Structure formats: structure tokens, C-alpha cells
Structure 1
């Protein structure tokens, strides 16, 4: 089984530790992971802001870079949703408008092999107990793309519930959007901040020390607000929790957040 890591732009620039955690986790489970250096943006930013044609070359590049791999795994539900839901749309429109009739083949090759991390663990590897140890209180925020477009359902929660030492606390209003939404946060900052504050207030009400999610774009939005308020809550990607073991624990000292 040939497996590649698609790190994504946000993780590459701001959260490389999440990518390292994914590799550490998968290798612990016996999966050899490649990192094709030619990977770039999936095109989500362009597509969501109306630059549909500019996203077309990125569809083809994604297919070329990950050609030959059985599975492409990424710690970002929004990027997986971009590949699965929007690549076929982009290819169909390019063909309809006579620009690139062959793009459909690239999209068709990319879609079935692309997995969000928790999908890959539960559906492909067939595991929920990954041997993790994380002795902290955690509340889980399901991001909109993972919840609504990918239908991740209980997969992330099942993985968290199997972590030794972890106490999972229910997040009130868990299915409500955090307010990030990519360019929505830029175009509608006041509304975005108000939605983010509601999410933070709900998370703080649980008394948890960690606000966990499976998409660093949402966590970036929430963590920024938490840091400005000096709140006693650390936003952390699920991969970093699952990668933690007694022998190699997640080190709170590596971050400026507070974990309890």
C-alpha cells in the first residue's frame, strides 16, 4: 500500500507539527508514508473566492503529484472536501467551456484516493485505538466541512474515546459553525468574531483544557481568539493527540498554550 501525505498550505506554513504528528502516528501503525515534494495548494482559496479557472491547473497538478499512490491522507477536512466535491465540478465546467476536456480524468483519479485522516484510520486501516496516551481533558469541535460535506460523523470521537488518559467532554452547540469559513472571516469579520466567541464560550463552559479539532483552519481562528483573551484553553489538532504516547508524549512546553 503506497500512502502519501498531503500536508496542505495552512499546515505547511503555520502548523508543520501537525504533519509530523500524522507521519509519526501512521508509521506507528505500520504505514510507510511518502511526502511528494511537488505538492502545492489544492486550489480551495482560489475556488472559494471566485477564481474558478485559476484553480484548474491545481486540479491537474494534484493528480500528477499523487499519481501512483493508493491513498492520499491529509489532516484537513476542508481540503479533502475541495478535492472530492469541487474537483469534479471544476473539471466538468472546463470541459463544457472547451478549455480542458481531459481534466475530468485527473479529477476522477484524485477523488477516490483522497482521505481525511480520521477516515483513513477508521475506514481503511480499521482502527480506533491507535495506542495513544493523552492525560488531559478534551472537548471536540467538528468543523463544517468534516461534518457536513465529508460526513465524518463519529469517527473523530471514536478515536478520541479510545485514547488512554483522555477525558472527553461534550461541547455544547458542537455542530454550530465556528465562524472561520475561509474568506468569510475576512469579508465578515464582526460576524465571524461573534460566532467564534460563541464557540469559545461553549468550549470554556466544559472546563476542558484542550479544544480539539480535525482542521487547523478552524483551530487557527479559535486559537487566535483564545490567545488574545489569555483563556485557559489550548486549541490542538486531533493528529497531535493521537500521535502522543507515554513513551513520546505531546509536550505542552512546545506551545504557548495551557493544557490541564
Structure 2
């Protein structure tokens, strides 16, 4: 759904000297299936993920939600399925799985990627990255070093945007009320762009901003970081 995010991630990592292999056989991590009770289907996808990535030195994801699924729920799913072989493989692979910002800041020790993005931007920390992966201020460290950009503080930033995957489908009224709070805070900053590390949240927030005809939009963190003075990616 958001190919530019993947393209930006590859471009950014290669600019930083990393060798990137994009696995064209990859599929969904299985989070949607597991969250809705389809454990057998989720286990099939978990096994496929392990098959696709067992030989990778590092797996980098521009999604805190997917990274949290692999690191936190894959082992639990393997236990539920009674598959000890899968559990061993998952436990070996999981420590090599990183959300993009934590890989850059915590693994590579880089907080200035040479980005240039001449816009007013506010940042929404996504729930899985903040509460499960605990990436902390890694995304903000990267954003503060983007040249040409004005980073604006978002009131109530740590409040959920209301998406929550299937939560927004099963609880649409509550989800819409939470989104209304989030979009109001974003517009109060005067930002042109709201950024985050998960396109699921940006899909939800972006839809809300579009329906308000606010003129503000959403851009994934990777697309901002991939932008340079010679070429703004997003």
C-alpha cells in the first residue's frame, strides 16, 4: 500500500553504507491474523517469515508494529502452537529484528543521516514503537538533525491515534473520537506534515486530516530521512 516507504528505507540505508537485500517473497508478518484469532493462519506466516529471513544478519522494518509482532508475539505464538522448533528459530531471529529508527540510533549509533526536508513537521510516536519496543526518543533524535525542517511539539503526543488495527473496525465510534483529538492537536501545531514510524497510524491520521480539508498531510519517517538537499523524497 505504501511502496515509497520501502523505497525510502532502502535508499536511506544504502546511503549510510549498508548492503540491503529486499526479499521479494516476503508477505504479511501475520499480526492481523493473530489479533483476530486466526492462530493457524498466523503460524503459517510466522514460519514463512523465519524461512525468508533466517540467514539475514539484520532485519530492518519501517514499522514498529511489525517489529513488535516479531519480537514480542512470535515467541508466544510458537508456544501456543506447541512448536518447539519454531520457538527456537524465532528466539534466535528476534534479536536481529529492528524498527528503522532504533536500528539507526541504537545499533549504528547514527542520529544525523544527512537529511534535508524544508517543512514544518510534527511527530506522532506510535503505540507499538513507544510502548512495546520502547524506542524512546530515537525518532526525535533523527528528526532534530534534519536540515531545513522546523520540528513542532505535538500536545498529547503519546495518546493513541485511535487506529489500533482491528480496534478501529470493531470500535469505530471510539476510534473516531480518538482520531478527532489527534487531528486537532496536529492542526494546533501549524504543521504542514505529521510524521510517524508506522503507515497504519499515518493512514488513519491522514484520512482524518484529508476529510477536514486541512491542507496538512502525513509522511513516513523514512521518507523524510531519505530526503536530501539535492532531492526531497517525499
**TM-score when scaled to structure 2?**
0.98
2:52 is aligned with 1:62? no
2:136 is aligned with 1:149? no
Distance 2:54 2:85 in 1: 15
- The aligned counterpart of 2:94 is 111
**Alpha-carbon contact 2:8-2:233 (below 8 Å) kept:** no
Distance 2:175 2:62 in 1: 23
Distance 1:20 1:250 in 2: 10
Distance 2:106 2:96 in 1: 12
Distance 1:94 1:106 in 2: 14
Residues paired across the two proteins, number: 234
Within the candidate set 53, 57, 78, 2:40 is matched to 53
Q: Which runs of 4+ in 1 moved over 2 A?
A: none
- The aligned counterpart of 2:3 is 16
**Alpha-carbon contact 2:163-2:204 (below 8 Å) kept:** yes
- Paired residue secondary structure (1:230): coil
**Alpha-carbon contact 1:80-1:115 (below 8 Å) kept:** yes
**Alpha-carbon contact 2:31-2:66 (below 8 Å) kept:** yes
Distance 1:38 1:249 in 2: 29
- The aligned counterpart of 1:207 is 190
For residues 80-105 of structure 1, give each alpha carbon's deviation from its aligned partner in whole angstroms, at most 9, with x where no partner exists.
0100110010111222xxxx331112
- The aligned counterpart of 1:185 is 168
- Paired residue secondary structure (1:34): coil
**TM-score when scaled to structure 1?**
0.88
- The aligned counterpart of 1:87 is 74
CA RMSD for the aligned pairs? 1.0
- The aligned counterpart of 1:225 is 208
Distance 2:100 2:69 in 1: 15
**Alpha-carbon contact 1:88-1:104 (below 8 Å) kept:** yes
- The aligned counterpart of 1:255 is none
2:118 is aligned with 1:135? yes
- Paired residue secondary structure (2:157): coil
Structure 1 runs not aligned, ≥5 long: 1-13, 252-260
Distance 2:130 2:101 in 1: 12
**Alpha-carbon contact 1:215-1:237 (below 8 Å) kept:** yes
After TM superposition, the structure 1 = structure 2 runs for residues 161-176 of structure 1, keeping only pairs within 5 Å, are 161-176=144-159
Q: CA deviation at 1:53?
A: 2.4
- The aligned counterpart of 2:219 is 236
Q: CA deviation at 1:110?
A: 2.4
**Alpha-carbon contact 1:185-1:192 (below 8 Å) kept:** yes
* More divergent stretch after superposition (118-127 vs 155-164): 118-127
